[in-house]
């Protein structure tokens, strides 16, 4: 019986066996022309071992008693061996070769006991390590490696004769580049073996120059996997109706993630979102708006005490069924004057085209517009401001334009909106106003012609 031993000095932790020959019934890996040296221990209780030319160590046993005796007669010599390799042997940490043929490395292998043609084509690996692949070319997958001085049967070649198909590293026929092996034998009879064509390489995407919003578009609601489309979006203000944002995307059940880093002035901010369907907004990974649901969404969220400097805004959106739209914007709320939102229609349809701070509502734009991004006709404005009032009754007025309305703390003072009555002066009163801060909101539009507006109020003397 073979038994485990501990090799001293030269061989670390090797297990060996003392039987005459090995049981060939195991399902082992064939080996072909391994080159190495046979060694024997001086003490008769120990068996032989084989050191392959790359330094790997294996137990060695003969398939028959005659081969076992031949192994014993060739100790200390450089030899070539054929047979099988097993990794479940009870010695040498499981590494053992069972030899069916052994010859000196400088000799020609004999046809017995393994029937082999004298001029059978062989490939001797001439480099220390060579890759073996699934096909004749470096574009094919690398399966494993073979080592210098190992010999494999050549079973095929490519049409150019620059790659050999060899048998059988990793228990399969694989390909090795002919420049890494020395071929011998009857090479003229090696058949040309066709291989599966290489897959068409996927072209690398053209780099996207991101200068505003980085838009990542996904063909799913969860924004998972790789985006189908990445592009630069100038702003988040889209109304795709029932169409897809791009040909590569579906019209329904898609999602978008927008990210951008941009400077903020110090202060408090209000973020706005309008979408169909779900949308959510973060500032520096702090959630500001979270309306992740189906159906139309119109929401806002405040972020106080934003520090001056660069901040990262992230917006996520998904479209389920029907119309698809998304818009996000923000404005400072800690202003010294009026928070002004300018729109390019008379309906205050979100989002505004311009958001800015106006020190007062007293403008005469003539036949022009308040901003180059706005039309000269058919535009509207919403002004909002918190103001400290003394107690009493107040008179409010808006002069100019084609329509206006005014609120005090969400109480409507007057409204002449979309009636086009021809009035250009609008007024109303609020009685018994309490002392303290109150929010004034003015909405106004101009159909065309001269664009001028002035809003003001006064405390009515003798009242309150």
Structure tokens at 12: 């670390």
Q: What pLDDT is recorded for position 27?
A: 55
What are 339-374's pLDDT values in tens digits? 888 999 999 887 788 888 899 999 999 999 999 889
Q: Do 231 and 350 have their domain in common?
A: no
Q: Encode pLDDT of 133-158 as tens digits.
A: 888 887 788 888 888 888 898 989 98
Q: Considering its fold, how many domains does the chain have in total?
A: 4
Cα four-point dihedral sign 102, 103, 108, 113: negative
- Does residue 117 lie within any of the structural domains? no
Residues 328 and 282 sit within 8 Å (Cβ to Cβ): no
Q: Contact 18/135 with Cβ under 8 angstroms?
A: no
Identify the pLDDT of residue 118: 62
Residue 100 lies in a domain: yes
CATH number at residue 156: 2.30.30.40
Does residue 83 sit within a domain? yes
Residue 454 and residue 341 share a domain: yes
Query: Is residue 361 in some structural domain?
Result: yes
Q: What is the rounded distance in angstroms from the CA atom of residue 270 to the CA atom of residue 332?
A: 6
Whether 371 and 447 map to the same domain: the answer is yes
pTM of the model: 0.45
Domain of 171, in residue numbers: 122-189
Give strand ranges (E) for 320-450.
Answer: 324-332, 338-343, 354-358, 362-366, 379-389, 392-399, 403-408, 411-416, 425-433, 436-446
Could you tell me if 339 and 462 lie in one domain? yes
DSSP bridge pairs for 276? 325
Q: What is the CATH number of the domain that holds 413?
A: 2.60.120.260
Together in a domain, 257 and 351: no
Task: Read off φ and ψ for residue 153, nearest 5 degrees.
Answer: -70, 135
| 405 within some domain | yes
Classified as helix, coil or strand, 69 is helix
Determine which of 20-29, 208-217, 335-344 has the lowest per-residue pLDDT on average: 20-29
| Spatial CB neighbours of 401, under 8 Å, sequence gap ≥ 6 | 424, 444, 445, 446, 451, 452, 453
Q: Which among 210, 246, 225 is positioned nearest to 319, based on CA atoms?
A: 246
| Cα distance between residue 398 and residue 426, in whole Å | 5
CA 17 from centroid of its chain's CA atoms = 54
Q: What percent of the chain has pLDDT over 70?
A: 85
State whether the Cα torsion 88-89-90-93 is positive or negative.
negative
- Is 462 in the same domain as 370? yes
Q: Same domain for 361 and 455? A: yes
How much of the chain, in percent, has pLDDT values that exceed 90? 37
2: confidence class by pLDDT, cuts 50, 70, 90? very low
Say whether both 221 and 323 belong to one domain.
Answer: yes
In angstroms, what CA-CA distances link 393 with 178, 347, 373, 437?
100, 31, 39, 15
CA separation for the pair 122, 165 (Å, rounded) = 10
Task: For residues 247 and 353, state if they share a domain.
Answer: no
- Collapsing DSSP to helix, strand or coil, 84 comes out as strand
pLDDT tier at 84, thresholds 50, 70, 90: confident
Cβ atoms 464, 429 nearer than 8 A:
no
Does residue 201 form part of some domain? no
Count other Cβ atoms within 10 Å, centred on residue 268: 13
Dist CA 445 CA 336 (whole Å): 23
Furthest-apart CA pair in the chain: how many Å?
A: 131
Cα 233 from Cα 239, distance rounded (Å): 14
């Amino acid at each position: 019986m073979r038994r485990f031993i501990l090799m001293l000095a030269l061989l670390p932790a090797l297990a060996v066996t003392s039987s005459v020959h090995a049981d060939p019934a195991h399902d082992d890996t064939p080996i072909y022309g391994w080159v190495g040296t046979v060694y024997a221990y001086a003490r008769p209780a120990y068996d032989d071992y084989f050191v392959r030319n790359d330094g790997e160590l294996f137990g060695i046993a003969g398939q028959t008693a005659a081969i076992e005796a031949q192994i014993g007669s060739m100790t200390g010599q450089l030899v070539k061996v054929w047979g099988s390799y097993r990794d479940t042997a009870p010695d040498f940490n499981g590494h053992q070769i069972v030899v069916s043929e052994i010859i000196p490395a400088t000799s020609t292998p004999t046809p017995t006991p393994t029937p082999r043609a004298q001029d059978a084509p062989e490939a001797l690996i001439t480099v220390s390590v060579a890759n073996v692949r699934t096909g004749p070319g470096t574009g094919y997958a690398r399966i494993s490696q073979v080592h210098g001085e190992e010999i494999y049967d050549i079973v095929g070649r490519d049409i150019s004769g620059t790659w050999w198909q060899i048998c059988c590293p990793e228990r399969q026929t694989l390909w090795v580049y002919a420049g890494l092996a020395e071929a011998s034998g009857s090479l003229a009879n090696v058949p040309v073996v066709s291989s599966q064509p290489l897959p068409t390489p996927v072209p690398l995407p053209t780099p996207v120059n991101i200068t505003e919003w980085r838009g990542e578009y996904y063909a799913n609601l969860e924004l998972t996997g790789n985006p189908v489309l990445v592009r630069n979006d100038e702003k988040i203000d889209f109304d795709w109706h029932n169409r897809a944002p791009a040909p590569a995307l579906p019209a329904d059940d898609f999602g978008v993630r927008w990210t951008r880093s941009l400077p903020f002035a110090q202060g408090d901010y209000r973020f706005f979102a309008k979408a169909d369907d779900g949308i959510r907004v973060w500032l520096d990974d702090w959630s500001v708006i979270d309306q992740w649901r189906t159906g139309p969404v119109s929401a806002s969220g405040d972020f106080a005490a934003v520090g001056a400097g660069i901040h990262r805004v992230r917006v996520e959106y998904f479209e389920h069924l029907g119309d698809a739209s998304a818009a996000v914007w923000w404005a400072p709320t800690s202003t010294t004057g009026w928070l002004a939102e300018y729109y390019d229609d008379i309906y205050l349809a979100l989002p505004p085209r311009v958001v800015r701070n106006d020190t007062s509502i007293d403008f005469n734009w003539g036949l022009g517009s308040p901003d180059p991004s706005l039309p000269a006709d058919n535009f509207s404005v919403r002004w909002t401001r918190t103001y400290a009032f003394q107690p009493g009754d107040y008179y409010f007025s808006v002069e100019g334009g084609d329509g206006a309305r005014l609120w005090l703390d969400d109480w409507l003072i007057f409204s002449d909106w979309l009636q086009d009555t021809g009035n250009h002066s609008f007024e109303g009163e609020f009685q018994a106003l309490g002392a303290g801060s109150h929010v004034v909101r003015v909405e106004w539009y101009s159909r065309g012609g001269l664009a001028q507006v002035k809003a003001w109020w006064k405390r009515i003397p003798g009242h309150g």
